[in-house]
Every structure is written in C-alpha cells, then in structure tokens.
Amino acid sequence: MSVTNQTQSQAQPPTKNDTILLDVKGLKKYFPIQKGFLRRTVGYVKAVDDISFFVREGETLGVVGESGCGKSTAGRSIIRLYEPTAGQVSFKSQVLGSNGQTKTVNLLDLNAQEMKSVRQEISMIFQDPVNSLNPRMSVSDIIAEPMIIHGMKMGQDTEDIIVSLLERVGLRSDHLRRYPHEFSGGQRQRIGIARALSLNPSLVICDEPVSALDVSIQAQTLNLLQDLQKDFNLAYIFVAHDMSVVEHISDRVAVMYVGKIVEMAETDALFTNPLHPYTEALLSSVPKPDPLYKPHRIMMQGEVADPSNPPSGCYFHPRCRYAQDLCKEKSPEFRQIKHDHWTACHFAGELKLEGI
Amino acid sequence: MAVAEQTLASAPVRRKQASQSYLSLVWWKFRKNRTAVFGGVLLLVLHIAMVGVPEFVSPYLLERTSDYVEAKPQRIRFFDQEGNFHLRPFVYGLEKKIDLAKRTRVYVDDPIRIYPLGFFVAGEPYQLFGLIPLKTHLYGTLSDDPAASVFIMGTDALGRDWFTRILYGGRLSLMIGLIGQLMTIAFGTILGAMSGYYGGWVDQLIQRATELLGAIPDIPLFMALAAAIPSFWSPISVYFMLTLILSFVRWGGLARQVRGLILSLREREYALAAKSAGGSDSRIMFRHLLPGTMSHVIVIATLAIPGMILSETALSWLGLGLRPPLTSWGVLLQDAATVRAIHTTPWELWTVPFILLTILAYNMLGDGLRDALDPYSGR
Ligand SMILES: Nc1ncnc2c1ncn2[C@@H]1O[C@H](COP(=O)(O)OP(=O)(O)OP(=O)(O)O)[C@@H](O)[C@H]1O
Ligand SMILES: [Mg+2]
C-alpha cells in the first residue's frame, strides 16, 4: 500500500513523552450466552480475556488482529460503553484533578458523575462513515452534541469552536448547516473526527477509522489524524486489521488473537523482528514494495478460534506452523523477552520468524 | 422519453434542495408519488367533510326525519321531460304510490314539481365546531315549497337523508381510526422502546404480554371485551371504551417492531458516540433512537388505520360495538345488510363505497409514505 512509503518520515512524532496516560491491567469482558425461555446463562463469549497494556501521552498504540478477536470490545470496555467483567483501567485525568494537577483514577471505580466528566478527555472515532453520524442531525448539531452534553450553551462561542474544528479537519464553514447524506465517506469521517475533538480530549480511541474508505482517502485521513495528534498532543488507540495502516501510524503495536494480546512492541521491532508466529503470519500478508521480492505468504489454516469455546493451551496452536505438544497443553505466559517487547509464546526467541 | 424528462427536471431540484433537512427530503420525495398524493388529498377531503364539518356538507341535520320513508335517491338532472336544458341542476319531487300487487310503498318522480339546486343555500341552523352559529349548507334546494327535498342517496325507515347519515357515520368511524391508532402508537412505541432499550426483566414482561395478546385471535378477543361493556353505559362511554379496546388489542405488533428497531439502532455508531460522550439515557432515546423509529411507526400506523375502521364496522355490524342512537358506518351497515333492506332500500349500500374508498386511500398514502420516509434509500 502506498501510504507505507509515502510519508514514513512523519510517523514518529518529534517529541517523545514518557508519561503514561492510560494503563490497562487484566481487562476482561465476557458476554453471557443466554439460552431458552428463562434466559439461563449457558456460557460466555470471552471477547476480551485478561489483557494488559499502556498508552503514553501523545503516542499511538496500534491494535491489530483478525476480525472477531475483540479489538472493538477492548476499546469500548475502556470507556465503559461495555461494562468490563474485570480489570483495572488507570487514567491520568485533568478534570478530576484539582489546582491544575492531574489525578490518576481507575475508570472502573468511578461513579456516574465522575465517569461523565472523564468522558470529556476520552473520545471515540468510529469505523462506519454512514452509521456514525445521525442522518437527522445537521453537521453543526453533530459536532456540538458532546459540548451540549457537557453543559455548554449553544451560542456564538460554541459556533466559533465548531467552525474552527470544521476548518481544522479540512471542511468549510458553509458545510455547517448540511446533513450527513450530502457528504462523501471521507468527509463524513472528518465530521466524526471533529466531533471527537470537540471537547479537547487527551486520548482518542479510533476503531478502524479508515477501514471503510478508499485507499487514496485512507492516506489523507491518516495524515490528518497525525497532524491533529501533533497539534493537540493526542494519544491514540488505533484499532485496525490492516498491517500497513498500523505500521504507518503507530509508535507501538499490540497484536490480539481471540481476546488476548499475543505480542506487543515498538512498531519497528515488531515489524522487523516478530516474536509470535501469529504476528509473522499477519506480516506475511502485507504486500511488499519491492517488485522483485518473491511473495512468501504464510497461509494460516482454519478459522479464528471461537471465543466462547477456545482451544486448549495456546489458543493459536491449531493454526500454528511451529506448534508442539506443549502448546496444546499449557497456555503461554505474556512475558517480556526483550526491552519493551512482550509476547505470549512458549518458544519466543527460539523460533526464527520472518518480519518485513 | 418520460423518464428522460423527469431526470432532467429533477436535476436542478436535487441540487437546490441540498442542505435541507430530513423532513423536506421526505416531502420532496412524497410529492413525486402521484398515487400517494391522491390518497392523501382524498383522505383530507373525507376527514374535513366528515370529521370536521358534516353539518355544513350535508343539506340536513342528522336528526331530521321526513314523511319520505325509504324513498329512493332523487337523481340530479339537467334536462326535463320535454328535453329542455336547464343551466341550474334540479331534482323532481317525489310522489308516494302504493303498489297493491306487491303491497309496498313506492316513490315515483313527479315531473311537475321541479326543485332547482344550488350551492351554499340557507337551511336548518347549526353550530359549526359547536361554536359558530350558521345556516348555510354546501348544497340544497332553492325551492320555497315545504315539501321540497333533495335526497341524493335516498332515505331510511325514519325518512332521514342517507347521505347525511353516511357523513355523520364517517365522523365516528374515521375518528375511531385516528384516535385508536394514536393510542396504539403511544402504547406500542413507549412499551416497545422500553423493552428494547432497557432489556432484562422489563423486556421479558413486555415481550410475554405481546405474545399473549398475539396468541388470541383478534375478533373473538374484541367480541369478548366488547360484550363486557355494560349496556347501561352512555353511548359516548361505549364509544371511548371501544376505541380503547381496539387499540389495546393492537399495540403488540407495533411494540415488537419498535423493540427490534431500537435494538438495532442503539448499536448504531452515532448512538454509541453520544453514549461515549456521556449522553443521558433520555437524550439517546429521544434524540437518536426514537426519531429513527418514527418513520417506520408512521407507516405501520397509517397502514393499520383501515384495520381499525374495519374492526369497528365489523363489531358494530355484529351488534357488539356502537349502537343507535350513535351513527357509525358499522351501525349503518347493520341497517342496510338485511335481506329485506337489500331488496327494498338497496341505496343504503352506498355506505360500502365510502368505506372502501377510505381504506384504499389509507393504503395509497401508507405506501407512498413508506417510500418517502426513507429518502436515503434511493441515493
Ligand atoms: N454485544 C455483544 N454480545 C455478545 N457477543 C459480542 C458482542 N460484541 C462482540 N461480541 C463477540 O465478541 C467477539 C469480539 O468482537 P469484536 O467486535 O470486539 O471484534 P473485532 O476484533 O472488533 O472484530 P472486527 O474486526 O470484525 O471489528 C466476537 O466473537 C463477537 O461475536
Ligand atoms: Mg471491530
């Protein structure tokens, strides 16, 4: 894909900040499976099963994985769109702190009032450009909604904020009174971005924000997101299933498989030197820029495991080329192999895996 | 050819109406559907004439009896017996005869008595909307003869003008359709929305209730409930009770549909966006979810009004619904649909075309609304 080499140099933000903004520990989200007239719970879909990661201020954490591996559920559980089953989500909040000091809070412990305030600081961008904007509301109403929810009155001030946000995402002020159906997919995504920024958040959860767009529009939108990140010092959790998009935008990457994080590292380290066979398989599907390179694509056998009935041991073992008996029996631990490079594989470091 | 013209004509319209709201899009699309517009206009006329101002439209008042018992309709004519053309239409007077062979009373035209007709003639005084005293009627005879009459659809056994009775009957029948359907919408939307949004035991309870109602066939349920209305109740109480029963039996289907819609809408990303920004339940419900169900609800409701009107008609016809002295289409059918009546006063079946016309018009309007209320589909 062209975005990869086009603006590679912009991918790294100029300043690195080591302060941790969000620290997730042991997050779980199990959806009950109910059957029968009395709605008895007969099992659970372990959509997110004990994941831990952190996000630094102003950085982008990419989250990749095949469809159904729990990426969206993870993102939504963090801001309690889904009430998590277990875990801890520590967030460095400005609004809950006093005298200009920040305060680190566990989002899962907050009461409704506090949670509502924190929602100013964490916003979401969604995947579907059609469904993410209410067709019955004008652009100005859509962007203003978060502000109104948080008690601002519509007036000249809010209008000015909306216009400058619109212009910042590349739309015009005369788009203000229009309705979503009058825009293209890329423009709608920009409206969604403006809405996400309207309360000046510090963390934006982007759930596949470019997956539904044309390739050329994808590149523009990614670049816009990167520019905004620099201007507003935003941290992104960037969910995607396209490896090249993730490589382009992320500082660090977490790879998910059936509700668990199987590998997490700096983008370069993960792409050149993967430690988990699943990561290797995902990477082998990325088209190479070199036309002479002989593609050597690892076809994974079978389907993604069923999160309500996962296999024994390592969830990936039925599809893994390197699987041994140990993998069927024992679930591997998520451990640090190198500096800042974590993985959950019994043979991490022993296998010779190919990156790009 | 016609298609090409249409696209040419609609191109500038489409551009001009950019940046217009949902409602104006709906209106724009609805207007293009001739059948639906026709149905809508027809309904408007029917409702104004019957629900609004039947006192004005009919030449007589509902209670006015006459000596012309079971008289045949008087034809409106332009030519008299000699073949002379009259610019002003007229009717012949009626002359009562006894047919000794059949032992019945028949009416024949009396060509000597010519009663000219006119619009906006003065007649019996009434109060429009119960407020404005008036004497003008839409049409009537201009003759001073106290025996002058204009029964365009004949008379009944008490000598009442049948057309007048159809108009007043329509008032109750159409209002049952409207009020009953409004109550159905209220029950169905509120319960369906609660069921879909809150889930859990609320959902369970409402779901089981709709299943229970749905499991009992309509007509026996109506009959059981209607038969339970005490016979000493005043006609007006009976009327409201009947409306309540009709809407109570029918809210289940609507509630299910609304529940399904809410279930799917609340997973829409715009609803999630509002929720993730901290929007309250009521904001999400009233700003994002219910407006999304309204178009569906309106279509279903419009298409269900005929069923409501027919149920009233059927119940009253069976003698379980409205009873005289109330006048509704069902009550009129009860008079008309006996073997004797079909034989001696077939004009009393004039009620039927009015019922059919109303049902047809509601269906035309409903179909058009269904297409128009989803204006994004055709783009
Ligand atoms: N509300 C829900 N109730 C029950 N199961 C759910 C619910 N939402 C998601 N799941 C299940 O949880 C698992 C993870 O879903 P999720 O949407 O998080 O995957 P994803 O990684 O975002 O996939 P995609 O790339 O398709 O968006 C899936 O098996 C899905 O069926
Ligand atoms: Mg997803």
Cross-chain residue pair B270–A131, CB shorter than 8 Å: yes
More confident residue, B346 or A337: A337
CB-count exposure of residue B85 (10 Å: 0-12, 13-18, 19+): exposed
In whole angstroms, how large is the CA radius of gyration of chain A? 21
The phi and psi torsions of A254 (rounded to 5 degrees) equal -115, 130
Which residue owns the Cα nearest ligand 1 atom 22? A72
CB within 8 Å: B268 and A131? yes
Q: Work out the widest C-alpha separation in chain A, in whole angstroms.
A: 68
Chain segment B147-195, per-residue pLDDT in tens: 788 888 888 878 888 899 999 999 888 988 888 889 889 989 999 999 9
Distance CA A269, CA B303 (A): 63
Instruction: Tell me: pLDDT of B45 over 70.
Output: yes
Separation CA A70–CA A205 (nearest Å)? 14
pLDDT at residue B62 greater than cutoff 90 = no
Contact list in B for residue A150 (CB cut-off 8 A) is: 277-278
The mean pLDDT of A192-211, rounded to a whole number, is 93
Contacts of A195 in chain B (CB under 8 A): 273
Which run of H or of E encompasses B148?
none
Distance (Å) of CA B66 to CA A156, B71, B107, B161: 71, 10, 14, 9
Count of CB contacts below 8 A, A vs B?
72
Report CB contact under 8 Å: B277, A199: yes
Q: Do A119 and B278 touch (CB under 8 A)?
A: yes
Q: Tell me which residue in B268, B292, B379 faces A181 most closely, judged by beta carbons.
A: B379
Give A296's pLDDT tier (boundaries 50, 70, 90).
low
Evaluate the CA torsion angle B108, B113, B114, B116 in order and state its sign.
negative
Residue type present at position A18:
D
Q: Whose CA is nearest to atom 17 of ligand 1?
A: A72
Residues of A in contact with B283 (CB under 8 A): 149
* Cβ under 8 Å to A: B residues 264-323: 268-270, 272-280, 283, 287-288, 291-292
Mean pLDDT confidence for B359-363: 91
Strands A40-56 and A60-64: unpaired
Task: State residue B18's pLDDT score.
Answer: 44
- pTM equals 0.78
Q: Which of B276, B373, B376 has the highest number of chain A CBs within 10 A, making it the mutation to test binding with A?
A: B276
Q: Measured between alpha carbons, how far is B92 from B89 in angstroms, rounded to an integer?
A: 10
SS3 category, B83: coil
Query: Between β-strands A86-93 and B132-141, what pairing exists: parallel, antiparallel or unpaired?
Result: unpaired
| CB B29, CB B372: distance < 8 Å | yes
DSSP A287: P
Q: How far is the CA of A44 from the centre of ligand 1 (A)?
A: 12
The residues facing B114 across adjacent strands are: B92
Ligand 1 pocket test, pick from A73, A262, A304, A315 with the greatest ligand atom count within 8 Å of Cβ, gives: A73
Token pair 């809407």 in the structure block, residue: B247
Interchain CB distance below 8 Å, B277 and A119: yes
Tell me, what's the pLDDT at A346? 92
Hey, whose CA ends up nearest to atom 31 of ligand 1?
A68
A294 falls in which pLDDT band (50, 70, 90)?
low
Q: At what angle do helices B162-198 and B235-265 cross, to 10 degrees?
A: 40
Amino acid at site B7: T
Dist CA A79 CA A334 (whole Å): 24
CA of A69 to the centre of ligand 1 (A): 7
List b or e across A193-231, with b for residues whose CB sees 16 or more CB atoms inside 10 angstroms: bbbbbbbebbbbbbbbbbebbeeebbbbbbbbbbebbee
User: What is the pLDDT of chain B when averaged over all its residues?
Assistant: 82
Domain boundaries, chain B: 66-157, 166-372
Q: At what angle do helices B269-276 and A139-149 cross, to 10 degrees?
A: 30
What is the A258 CA–ligand 2 centroid distance (Å)? Answer: 13
Q: Which residue on chain B is closest to A149 by alpha carbon? A: B279
Nearest to A128 among B269, B275, B376 (CB): B269
Residue A236 CA, ligand 1 centroid: distance in Å = 21
Tell me how far the alpha carbon of residue B267 lies from the centroid of ligand 1, in angstroms.
Answer: 12
The pLDDT value given to residue A345: 92
Residues ≥6 apart with Cβ < 8 Å to B154: B70, B71, B72, B73, B162, B345, B347, B348, B350
H/E stretch holding A262 reads strand A260-266
**What average pLDDT does range A185-202 have in this prediction?**
93
Strand pairing report for B132-141 and B104-128: antiparallel
Kindly report the protein residue whose alpha carbon is nearest to atom 13 of ligand 1.
A47
What residue owns the CA closest to ligand 1's atom 12? A47
**What ipTM, to 2 d.p.?**
0.86
Q: Which residue would you say has higher pLDDT here, A153 or B17?
A: A153
d(CA B227, CA B224): 5
The proportion of chain A whose per-residue pLDDT surpasses 90, expressed as a percent, equals: 58
Q: What is the rounded end-to-end Cα distance, in angstroms, of chain B?
A: 22
The CA distance from B240 to B274, in Å, is: 41
Pairing of strands B132-141, A203-207: unpaired
What are A4-63's pLDDT values in tens digits? 444 444 444 445 568 899 999 999 999 998 887 777 888 899 999 999 999 999 999 999
pLDDT tens across B97-124, in order?
A: 887 887 778 888 887 888 888 888 888 8
* Residues at CB less than 6 angstroms from ligand 1: A 31, 45, 47, 65, 67-73, 241, 307
Tokens 């009935």 sit on residue: A309
Q: A66: which 2 tokens?
A: 């095949």
Question: What are the phi and psi torsion angles at B321 (to 5°)?
Answer: -100, -120
Q: How confident is the model at residue B228 (pLDDT cuts 50, 70, 90)?
A: confident
So what's the pLDDT on residue A332?
A: 92
Atom 16 (ligand 1) nearest CA: A70
Residues in chain B: 379
Confidence of residue B17 (pLDDT cuts 50, 70, 90): very low
Burial label, B170 (beta-carbon count in 10 A; 0-12, 13-18, 19+): buried
**Interchain pair B276, A181: CB under 8 A:** no
User: Residue A290's pLDDT is what?
Assistant: 66
The CATH code of domain B166-372 reads 1.10.3720.10
